[in-house]
Amino acid sequence: MCGRYAQTLPPDAMVDLFEAEPANDLPEGPRWNVCPTMQIPVVATFGGRRRLLPMRWGFLPHWYDSPTAGPLLINARAETIATKPAFRDACRQRRCIIPATGFYEWTKAADGTRLPWYFYDPSGAPLVFAGIWQPWGPDGLRTCAIVSCAAGPTMAEVHHREPVTLAPADRALWLGEAGQGAAVLMRAAPEGRIARHRVSRAVNSNRSEGPELIAPLTDAGDV
């Protein structure tokens, strides 16, 4: 977890929300079905200034000689992020935040069919994932991963992991702007921050797009 999410905030809204300077090559949006290896909007701090810029979702350690030289690292486990060789330097030096409208997770029906759920902030505010990033290759391609932790009560009924989500007051600490101690933020969301509903199986295809993907499943049944 997290393996798919939605990101529908326009660049201007993200610039205002995170007080960040935008890059000129941000990925087009909105996207209701963001998949690994896509370019995604990410906020990181450089020289004390926040920037909103694109990164590849799929962290590439410096020893990979190609993007497919090892496992696709889209998540970094909070329990091992500070010690795992792929992530430990980024955890200390290159933390970022990843805006999202919501994210998806799946359960299985008795016949093995994958049944998608959509998770979101019930207040309508965006979710903000804790992330880490890594430059890779001779051109310094920026790549990132979402930090995950053991699931809290809302998530645990569907999946045993959840993305670490940051409250507004915690973002500066995660980005390294407010001193040390960011490790305490790598925990499940408090009760009430995340809600969920079932959505159409259309999102099971990575080619699907559109706002209907996050709509609650109707009484007509799964489609």
For 102-125, write each residue's pLDDT tens digit: 999 999 988 989 999 999 999 999
Average pLDDT, rounded, for the chain? 94
pLDDT of residue 56 exceeding 60: yes
- pLDDT value, residue 220: 47
Q: CA geometry: angle at 59 spanning 206 and 93, to 5°? A: 140
Sign of CA dihedral 136, 83, 174, 1: positive
Please check whether residue 110 lies inside any domain of the structure.
yes
What is the band of 218 on the pLDDT scale with cuts at 50, 70, 90?
confident
DSSP codes joined into one string, 90-140:
HHHH-EEEEEESEEEEEEE-TT--EEEEEEE-TTSPPEEEEEEEEEETTTT
| Helices and strands, number each (H, E), in the chain | 4, 13
Share of the chain above pLDDT 90, in %: 90
Give the separation between CA 37 and CA 148, rounded to whole angstroms.
Answer: 18
What is the band of 153 on the pLDDT scale with cuts at 50, 70, 90?
confident
What is the band of 219 on the pLDDT scale with cuts at 50, 70, 90?
low
Average pLDDT value for residue range 176-182:
93
CATH assignment of the domain containing 100: 3.90.1680.10
Catalytic residues: 2, 105
Share of the chain above pLDDT 70, in %: 97
Please check whether residue 136 lies inside any domain of the structure.
yes
What is the band of 98 on the pLDDT scale with cuts at 50, 70, 90?
very high
Q: Which domain holds residue 147?
A: 5-214
pLDDT of residue 37 exceeding 50: yes
Please check whether residue 25 lies inside any domain of the structure.
yes
- Cβ atoms 31, 52 nearer than 8 A: no
Average pLDDT value for residue range 166-174:
97
Please check whether residue 220 lies inside any domain of the structure.
no
Please check whether residue 223 lies inside any domain of the structure.
no
pLDDT of residue 221 exceeding 60: no
- Cβ atoms 144, 57 nearer than 8 A: yes
Please check whether residue 221 lies inside any domain of the structure.
no
Please check whether residue 222 lies inside any domain of the structure.
no
Asked if the peptide bond before residue 30 counts as cis, ω within 30 degrees of 0, the response is: yes
- Cβ atoms 188, 155 nearer than 8 A: yes
- Tally of domains in the chain: 1
Average pLDDT value for residue range 17-28:
95
pLDDT of residue 1 exceeding 80: no
- pLDDT value, residue 222: 62
Please check whether residue 195 lies inside any domain of the structure.
yes
